[in-house]
């Protein structure tokens, strides 16, 4: 059975580092939006284009899964609904999900993002402690129910299906 890996964690937690290992261990295609946004636009987001790009990467991953191969979405996926929607999508393609939560404490996180910026200023963005704190406050940590791949919560209020929700959140993911 094909596996969709969801990398979940805050900036600088080590998602891409871990995703590169998984890519080798599981012969999986890895989708890291920053590796596209920076060469295309020079920035991490611009007028919502990151969502457009993420949608296309999900669309590509869907084709990979449909063909029976493994894919990694290295998006961060701070929101529980985002992860739930992707669980539904993988299930609809006959694939299973592995949620890979990469935790990091605030001190280590700040050190890592600052060091990364010093090492490669053109490949990343400067982030200060206050910004990292704000992001940590909105990040929704995955619960234990998310971790065994069989998680199938109901769609959020106002949505008849996860398909509807996905077409709102990542409109370019479905066609």
Ligand X SMILES: Nc1ncnc2c1ncn2[C@@H]1O[C@H](COP(=O)(O)OP(=O)(O)OP(=O)(O)O)[C@@H](O)[C@H]1O
The residues that touch ligand X, with contacts defined as CB under 6 A, are 9, 11-17, 34, 76, 112, 116
Q: Are strands 3-8 and 70-76 parallel, antiparallel or unpaired?
A: parallel
Q: Which does 116 bind (CB under 5 to 8 A by kind): ligand X, Mg ion, none?
A: ligand X
Q: Assess contact for 142 and 99: CB atoms under 8 A.
A: yes
**How far is 14 from 19, CA to CA, in rounded Å?**
8
Torsional sign, CA 151, 13, 78, 92: negative
Q: Which residue is nearest to Mg ion (CB)?
A: 16
Q: Which does 14 bind (CB under 5 to 8 A by kind): Mg ion, ligand X, none?
A: ligand X
Q: Which does 9 bind (CB under 5 to 8 A by kind): Mg ion, ligand X, none?
A: ligand X
Q: What tokens were used for 141? A: 């940590």
**Shortest distance, position 32 Cβ to ligand X, whole Å:** 7
Report the nearest approach of ligand X to the CB of residue 146 (Å).
Answer: 18
CB of 34 to ligand X, least distance (A): 5
Which residue, 73 or 86, has its beta carbon nearer to Mg ion? Answer: 73
Helix (H, G, I), strand (E, B) or coil at 90: helix
Comparison of 67 and 118: residue with beta carbon closer to ligand X = 118
Instruction: Please report how many Cα atoms fall inside a 13 Å half-sphere around the Cα of residue 165, on the Cβ side.
Output: 21
Give the nearer residue to Mg ion in terms of CB position, either 14 or 142. 14
Report the C-alpha gap between 47 and 69 in whole angstroms.
32
With 0-12 / 13-18 / 19 or more C-beta atoms within 10 angstroms meaning exposed / middle / buried, residue 24 is exposed
Whole-number minimum distance, CB 20 to ligand X, in Å?
8
Q: Which of 11/55 has CB closer to ligand X?
A: 11
């Amino acid at each position: 059975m094909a596996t969709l890996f969801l990398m979940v964690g805050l900036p600088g937690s080590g998602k891409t580092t871990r995703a590169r290992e998984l890519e080798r261990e599981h012969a999986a295609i890895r989708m890291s939006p920053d590796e596209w946004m920076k060469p295309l636009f020079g920035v991490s987001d611009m007028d919502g284009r990151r969502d457009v790009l993420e949608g296309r990467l999900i669309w590509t991953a869907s084709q990979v899964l449909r063909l029976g191969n493994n894919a990694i979405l290295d998006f961060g996926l701070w929101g529980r609904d985002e992860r739930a929607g992707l669980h539904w999508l993988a299930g609809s393609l006959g694939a299973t999900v592995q949620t890979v939560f990469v935790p990091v404490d605030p001190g280590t996180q700040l050190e890592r993002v600052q060091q990364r910026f010093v090492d490669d200023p053109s490949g990343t963005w400067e982030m200060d402690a206050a910004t990292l704190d704000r992001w940590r406050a909105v990040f929704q940590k995955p619960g234990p129910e998310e971790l065994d791949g069989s998680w199938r919560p109901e769609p959020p209020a106002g949505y008849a299906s996860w398909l509807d929700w996905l077409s709102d959140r990542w409109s370019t993911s479905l066609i």
